[in-house]
C-alpha cells in the first residue's frame, strides 16, 4: 500500500512540474502576443492620424480626410483596444 502511495505521489509531482512548465510557456506566449497587439494598435493609430492630417486624394477615392475606404472586395477592419 505504501509503495502505491509513493508511486502516485511521484506521478502527481511529475504532472505538476509538467503543468507548471506549460503554464510558464503559455504566459510567455501571452505576453508576446500582447506586445504584438499593442504594436499593431499603435501602427493603426499612427496611420489613422496620418490619414486624418492629409488632404483628400485619389488614393482614398476622394473621401474626406479621416475617412477610410477599402478597395472593392476588401472589408475595413476596425481594431478594438
What is the full DSSP assignment across the chain?
A: -HHHHHHHHHHHHHHHHHHHHHHHHHHHHHHHHHHHHHHHHHHHHHHHHHHHHSPP-GGGTTPPTT-----TT----PPP-
Please check whether residue 74 lies inside any domain of the structure.
no
Please check whether residue 68 lies inside any domain of the structure.
no
pLDDT at 54: 87
Counted domains in the chain: 1
Please check whether residue 23 lies inside any domain of the structure.
yes
pLDDT at 81: 42
pLDDT at 66: 52
pTM of the model: 0.55
At 3-60, the pLDDT tens digits run 999 999 999 999 999 999 999 999 999 999 999 999 999 999 999 999 999 866 555 5
Please check whether residue 66 lies inside any domain of the structure.
no
Q: Are 56 and 64 in contact (CB under 8 A)?
A: yes
HSE, CB side, 13 Å, CA atoms: give it for residue 32: 6
Residue with the three cell numbers 473621401:
63
Length of the chain: 81
Amino acid at each position: 500500500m505504501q509503495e502505491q502511495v509513493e508511486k502516485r505521489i511521484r506521478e502527481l509531482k511529475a504532472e505538476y512540474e509538467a503543468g507548471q512548465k506549460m503554464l510558464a510557456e503559455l504566459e510567455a506566449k501571452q505576453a508576446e502576443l500582447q506586445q504584438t497587439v499593442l504594436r499593431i494598435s499603435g501602427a493603426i493609430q499612427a496611420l489613422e492620424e496620418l490619414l486624418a492630417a492629409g488632404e483628400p486624394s485619389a488614393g482614398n477615392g476622394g473621401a474626406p480626410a479621416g475617412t477610410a475606404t477599402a478597395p472593392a472586395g476588401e472589408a475595413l477592419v476596425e481594431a478594438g483596444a
